[in-house]
């Protein structure tokens, strides 16, 4: 495992930077998984005053040997190892929106670095890596010749060329899953959690001249267990938190769908730690259910290794919001339900809080990190069990704390 990380770090060739102490403004979305944070981040990232990562912090923590199996027994980090290298990876991936044609050389390099994190065991092998470089060169030569600007078209060109003999790997990408896919995520080693993100077009690198004027935006659900990390990484910055909420029924339903997905949300391979799951409704249901933990690791996660799937998922929702509330961190509370029903008003509320000009117009909302097509009240498919959860006192108390009604008719 260590050798793979070393090889990937060497191949990625991330340059060192000393920009961290000059950063003045950081925004962090705090939330539980399956609460809409990917969509909110996607919309916010289109603001010209906001710089963001293509994905989340997790693969960079793994690349710098932070987290489970390194220096922690859950997603709660007490300290950050290799901080300078972590910051180098953050700044290397941090981009801003830009108008006009894409910089293909810049985009090709971002694809190379991202693919190394997505399939580290595959592309850390010399022959496979050289083939990857060859394939990316061929795709982007064609893109230049044909002046291909369509984002989806270029994404499909890259993926179909890189995985021409292993087309099933494309199912691990956000929005690319084949509905008929029957295989499951069975990579020997992972750094990034599927569904894999794709480098965004029409972006430029965050530069030295930007760091004192732009806001660096971060979104990673496990951050609820490491509040204070960004203050350590950016000691001279003002850190503003957004507490994104969503009702328990919608969140738990989404979590259960994710746990049962054969191609998404594989976060920890517990087989490597000599552990085996016995989660009812998961370990006895899917072929990967004894080996893979999904989504985040609350500090009490080991207490749920033999629980039912609905209990595991409810704990992930409850633990995340308990961590935010108990931290007493100052934050702007934003309801995902309100964001969906009144996006312009909520975006104005957020940009005002962050000290940014209003967005002139909102981008078309993308479907991000979805297990199935979005629709209202998807939680109804597990209505009986979810309503039983709502009888618990701790659930009712948290719903009240988050300003949600316990009337199911109000749950979207």
Strand ranges inside 4-146, DSSP E: 25-30, 50-52, 95-97
- Domain range for 134 is 2-404
Is residue 189 a part of any domain in this protein?
Answer: yes
Calpha distance 143→151 (Å, rounded): 11
Strand ranges inside 72-231, DSSP E: 95-97, 203-205, 215-219
Counting the structural domains of the chain, the total is: 1
Confidence of residue 336 (pLDDT cuts 50, 70, 90): very high
Is residue 410 a part of any domain in this protein?
Answer: no
**H or E segment and range at residue 334:** strand 331-335
Rg for the chain, CA atoms, rounded = 21
Confidence of residue 375 (pLDDT cuts 50, 70, 90): low
* % of residues, the chain, pLDDT over 70: 95
Omega prior to 344 cis, within 30 of 0: no
* Residue-wise pLDDT tens digits, 67-82: 999 999 999 998 999 9
Calpha distance 230→164 (Å, rounded): 40
pLDDT at 43: 95
Is residue 409 a part of any domain in this protein?
Answer: no
* Residue-wise pLDDT tens digits, 377-409: 778 889 899 999 999 999 999 999 999 999 988
CB 247 within 8 A of CB 411: yes
**H or E segment and range at residue 238:** strand 238-245
At residue 271, does pLDDT exceed 70? yes
**H or E segment and range at residue 292:** strand 292-294
Is residue 411 a part of any domain in this protein?
Answer: no
pLDDT at 373: 47
As given in the structure block, the two tokens for residue 108 are: 């090709």
Is residue 183 a part of any domain in this protein?
Answer: yes
* Residue-wise pLDDT tens digits, 68-124: 999 999 999 989 999 999 999 999 999 999 988 789 999 999 999 999 999 999 999
What residues have CB less than 8 Å from 126, skipping those under 6 apart? none
pLDDT at 183: 84
Confidence of residue 157 (pLDDT cuts 50, 70, 90): very high
């Amino acid at each position: 495992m260590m050798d793979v990380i070393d090889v990937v770090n060497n191949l990625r060739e991330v340059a060192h930077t000393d920009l961290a102490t000059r950063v003045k403004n950081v925004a962090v979305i705090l939330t539980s998984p399956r609460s809409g944070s990917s969509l909110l981040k996607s919309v916010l990232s289109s603001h010209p005053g906001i710089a963001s990562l293509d994905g989340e912090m997790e693969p960079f923590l793994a690349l710098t040997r932070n987290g489970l199996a390194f220096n922690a027994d859950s997603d709660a980090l007490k300290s950050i190892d290799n901080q300078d290298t972590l910051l180098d990876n953050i700044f290397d991936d941090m981009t801003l929106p830009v108008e006009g044609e894409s910089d293909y050389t810049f985009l090709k390099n971002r694809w190379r670095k991202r693919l190394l994190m997505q399939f580290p065991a595959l592309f850390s092998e010399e022959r496979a890596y050289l083939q990857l470089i060859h394939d990316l060169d061929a795709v982007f030569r064609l893109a230049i010749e044909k002046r291909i600007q369509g984002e989806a078209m270029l994404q499909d060109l890259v993926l179909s060329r890189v995985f021409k003999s292993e087309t099933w790997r494309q199912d691990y990408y956000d929005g690319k899953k084949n509905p008929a896919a029957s295989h499951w995520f069975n990579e020997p080693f992972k750094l990034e959690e599927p569904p894999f993100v794709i480098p965004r077009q029409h972006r430029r690198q965050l530069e030295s001249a930007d760091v004192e004027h732009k806001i660096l935006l971060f979104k990673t659900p496990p951050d609820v267990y490491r509040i204070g990390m960004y203050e350590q990484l950016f000691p001279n910055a003002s850190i503003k938190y957004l507490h994104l909420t969503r009702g328990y029924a919608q969140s738990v339903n989404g979590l259960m769908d994710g746990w049962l997905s054969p191609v998404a949300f594989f976060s920890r391979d517990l087989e490597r730690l000599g552990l085996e799951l016995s989660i009812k409704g998961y370990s006895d249901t899917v072929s990967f259910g004894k080996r893979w933990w999904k989504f985040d690791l609350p500090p009490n996660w080991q207490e749920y290794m033999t629980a039912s799937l609905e209990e595991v998922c409810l704990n992930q929702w409850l633990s995340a919001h308990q961590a935010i509330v108990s931290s007493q961190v100052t934050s702007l509370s934003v309801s995902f339900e309100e964001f969906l029903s009144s996006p312009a008003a909520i975006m104005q509320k957020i940009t005002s809080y962050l000290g940014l000009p209003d967005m002139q117009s909102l981008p078309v909302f993308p479907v991000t990190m979805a297990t199935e097509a979005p629709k209202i009240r998807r939680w109804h498919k597990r209505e009986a069990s979810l309503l039983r959860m709502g009888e618990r006192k701790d659930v009712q108390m948290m719903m009240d704390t988050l300003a949600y009604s316990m009337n199911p008719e109000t749950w979207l």
